[in-house]
Chain A
Amino acid sequence: MTQAAEIGATGIGKQFGQFTALADITLTIARGEFLTLLGPSGSGKTTFLMVLSGFEAPSSGRLTLNGTDMTDLAAERRGFGMVFQGYALFPHMTAEENIAFPLKVQGRTAAEVKRRVDEMIGMVGLGGHGHKRPSGLSGGQQQRVALARALAYAPPVLLLDEPFSALDKNLRGQMQDEMRRLHRETGTTFVFVTHDQEEALALSSRVAIFDKGRLQQLAPPREVYERPANRFVAEFLGDINILPVKGGRIEGRAVQAPGATGDLAIRPEYMALALAQPEDGNAVAATLNDLTYLGAETRLSLVTSGGVPIVLHQQTSDLPAGLAPGASVWATWAPGHGFLL
């Protein structure tokens, strides 16, 4: 089995005419890591994946593979596995023939090809479907064929371009578990593109967040969520409340914050609702605008007396009885959960 590879990118840029798709991307993808490239559409994440794969040449910068320069190495010589959006299976071949294709390209013997194809079919849980063509398989099954085909020759790196975008929500969750298992079992370096933040947080060892062709932050999921590097990252990942702090005060009331002036950001789940002004801790006065019942949780929309909107996620069971829109309330949080942007 091929060893998982380390990839280095230094100052990668990509221009399409006047349009800058990527600007100065520098990062290292560690051996055996599960890195997610996350960002809105047009952020450059897919372009960066295409540059890694060799299907797009960067306009500037260098790429290394285990320390050796691979910038000018053609896609077919990099030996990476790739799962495309829409799977890109060979429609005229059965699942087994699809998986066998890269092995035949490598000139393996028929017996070896068969052994490895059977192994891969078992690994991705496609037993009994091997003789079917893609048109006879469900979306999830096609996805498994694409994964098996890309992993068949034990590539040092597996690149995945929004592989789950065509699947429904339940299947998506199932495939995410499968992906984590495959990553563990193969030990290969995975680079995964998605625009789904939950997927990124659930799967990766680190998340690289892209916006407007630039790398905004590269950190483990917990860190990008709880300690976003900038306002874009903070707002892109889930809901966040942002309260302007001036001279250590929010709307005239003294608070404990990491700095005296700036935008204080607090995740909704770290804020709580209080009916009376708390004696200590950080708090801001607000009016309840709306309640959205979501089952176990209720989402509360507040607006402060200064007009700043606040969102709270509260356990439905913890809510005071008779709470209705229009009520005067307090939004509170522990000082450690706020950070300045």
Chain B
Amino acid sequence: MTARHIFLLGPLLALLGAAYLLPFLGVMRWSVTLPQPGLGQYVIALTDPLVLGVIWRTFRICLLVTVLAVAAGYVLSLIWVRGGPAARLAAELCILIPFWISVLTRAFGWLALLSNKGILNTWLEHLGFISEPLTLVRNEFGVVVGMVHFLIPFAIFPLASSMRAVDERVLMAARGMGASRTRIFWSVFVPMTRGGILGAALLVFVFGLGFFITPAILGGGRSVMVAELIYLRIFQSPDWGLGAAISVILMVAVGLLLALMMRQVKAATK
């Protein structure tokens, strides 16, 4: 790194340091000093059934969201990269428009659509398909729907770039050998985009772990995830030490996951 690089990166590094690193160091200090010095809060965080339940739920939801968002993102990327001109345009709009709408607006949008008196339940009742409204929000289902919707575009970029890198001639070669479209897709195209799949999964999973607004609104306080738990500990109960300890655990978990999956992505794209 030359002096010029440092000069150009300097403001960014200073901002990251001031806005993230310093506060995080403060959070780390709280975790071992509040309410009294020691590792007591970490013991509580890792033994308390409520906290462990939330951590487990967070991982479970994120795993499901990752599978769904990557699968849906794969289909959309496929249309975006390899579809006809009209399909391409449609896919592009589906990918880009959600980007311009705030996460809050989208969460309330899903609430309007899925709540007991929402559009979907009202229609289904009018059409006589159901007599009781379906519980589609204020539970994990609603959280998963909202998170998948938010995260699909993030899955698409690594997927689309890995699909663009696929050499058309390799697919032609498979065709020339008599392979069916299904076979070419599953045994040539999908393995060749494995790096993109892993990259997308990593991005979605890590992003999902820290989700706050979507679970808070669509979970309605019933399926609390880690970020919301931290918020509750710090803002609604004077339990800063435990909130801080959970934050640190989340950070460490994300860091380990990133390191592990980066290695996988590197191995897959080699």
Contact = CB atoms under 8 A, between A and B. Distances in A.
Nearest to B269: A91
Given A54-B176, A102-B178, 19 more contacts: A53-B176, A55-B175, A75-B175, A81-B176, A84-B169, A85-B169, A86-B167, A88-B167, A88-B170, A90-B173, A90-B188, A91-B170, A101-B179, A101-B187, A102-B179, A105-B179, A105-B183, A135-B270, A153-B177
B179 A76 contact: yes
Interface of B: 167, 169-170, 172-180, 183, 187-188, 191-192, 194, 270
A100 B169 CA distance: 18
A81 B174 CA distance: 10
B169 A86 contact: yes
A106 B179 CA distance: 8
Interface residues of A, number: 26
Contact of A92 (B176, B177, B179, B191): B191
B173 to A, nearest CB: 4
Interface core residue of A88, A135, A149, A153 (most chain B CB under 10 Å): A88
Interface in A65-90: 75-82, 84-86, 88-90
A80 B183 CA distance: 18
A102 B178 CA distance: 7
Contacts of A86: 167, 169
Given A90-B188, A92-B191, A105-B183, A77 B170 contact: no
A44 B182 CA distance: 32
27 contacts: A53-B176, A55-B175, A75-B175, A76-B175, A76-B177, A76-B179, A77-B178, A82-B173, A84-B169, A84-B172, A84-B173, A85-B169, A86-B167, A88-B169, A88-B173, A89-B173, A90-B173, A90-B191, A91-B192, A92-B191, A101-B179, A102-B177, A102-B179, A105-B179, A105-B183, A106-B178, A149-B177
A178 B245 CA distance: 68
Contact of B172 (A88, A92, A102, A153): A88
A85 B173 CA distance: 11
